[in-house]
Amino acid sequence: MVRTDWPGVARIVSKGRGYYYFRRRISGKYRLIRLPDDPRSTEFAEAYKALTTPDGGRTITPFSFDELIISYKKGAAFLNLSPRSRDDYHKMLDLLGGWLGPKDASRYPRSEALRMMASNAHRPRTANYLLSILIVLMNHAIDLDWRTDNPAKGVRKLKTGPGYRPWTPEEVEAYRAANAERPEALLLFELAMGTGQRPGDLTRMKWTDYDGQGIRVVQGKTGAQLYVPVTTRLRGLLDAARPAVGGGAILGTEAYTGMEIRFRRARARAELKGVSLHGLRKNASIELAEAGCTEAEIKAITGHETSEMIALYIKGANQRKTALKARRKSEASDREQKEIGKTSGKTRPQADEA
């Protein structure tokens, strides 16, 4: 990859031919967007302008979604978001801008919001996120005195299912066994399981954040500052891998993609499918709930902001404990009945006749 005189543009040679790409940061990752082959052509200049100007080189229509999105991105509500949230918002705003750009935001009807949800029913999480961003944009339109109502507010979100699932005990042991001789793969796994943090936050953990007992964490999504005591298993791996001098990333990389590639290779060695690093966050929460931790105690470690998921973990843990208790009572009752049966079936000694 060779840099060019065009800022953000790189030239890649493949099979003797040069191709031009624009590097754009999307959702925290750099993507290569193909440009026309001739950098001296009008088409190249127009494509480059579309990628480097806020409005894509278009003439902005008054009261349009294009204008509304640009205005929102300049405001404090957007600029004060965490970097992770800004990246996520950028992606959704770009999607909405691509669909609605020149349309009049001041006259946008509720029926269009419903139609957007219906057309994205095959990807309910994305549909719900788009709806949330649309509500934010319409609130911004109200702030600008473009309209007096929010047509997206009150539109029902789609059911999304359970999301990332926790690992089964068998899957946990299979991963550990298959990667027993690979300290980096084990450290990644135990860091996710032992801290209960989101995968993106794992990459930002540095050796200077670890004090031998716990790790200081600043969550990328919420901005919450946490101190997370580590598990005994994780502490052993951290102490063994800790460098004598220096304080780089604990995982050796701060790139999410690099971490994910390493995890997928380790998962393949264990011949596992359908499990994820994010699922281990659920495992950590469930383990804490089954240990009898309160909602506040679980939140102190995982950094969950809402109570909904934590309540489900605690409910599940309590159900399991109650069911096991009921089963033990049932089995104890069965044993008692058998003992009574044995006793009642014995022949009693007869009294001596006079």
Q: Helix H segments across the chain?
A: 42-52, 65-74, 76-79, 83-100, 110-119, 124-143, 169-178, 183-195, 199-202, 232-241, 256-269, 277-290, 295-302, 308-344
- Homologous superfamily of 60-161: Tyrosine recombinase, N-terminal domain (1.10.150.130)
More reliable by pLDDT, 306 or 190: 190
> Is 104 within 8 Å of 64 (Cβ atoms)?
yes
Range ranked top by mean pLDDT from 4-8, 49-53, 231-235, 317-321: 231-235
CATH fold for the domain made of 169-310: hpI Integrase; Chain A (1.10.443)
Is the pLDDT at 354 greater than 50, yes or no? no
pLDDT band at 88 (very low <50, low <70, confident <90, very high): confident
**Is the pLDDT reported for residue 346 higher than 90?**
no
The vertex-181 CA angle with 175 and 185, nearest 5°, equals 50
pTM of the complete model beyond 0.85: no
Query: Which of 82-96, 144-158, 340-354 is modeled with the greatest confidence?
Result: 144-158
277-291 residue pLDDT tens: 999 998 998 888 888
Backbone CA torsion sign across 282, 286, 287, 288: positive
> Residue 104: beta bridge partners?
64
Instruction: For the chain, give every domain's residue range.
Output: 1-52, 60-161, 169-310
Dist CA 322 CA 328 (whole Å): 10
> Is the CB of residue 286 less than 8 Å from the CB of residue 280?
no
Residue 53 or residue 36, greater confidence: 36
- Per-residue pLDDT tens for 189-239? 999 999 999 998 999 999 999 999 999 998 888 888 999 999 999 999 999
Other residues' Cβ atoms within 10 Å of the Cβ of residue 224: 16
pLDDT at residue 140 in the model: 96
pLDDT at 73 over 80: yes
pLDDT in tens, 9-42: 888 888 888 888 888 766 556 678 888 888 878 7
pLDDT digits (tens, 9 = 90+) for 253-271: 888 888 999 999 999 999 9
Find the mean pLDDT for residues 290-301. 86
Q: How confident is the model at residue 56 (pLDDT cuts 50, 70, 90)?
A: low
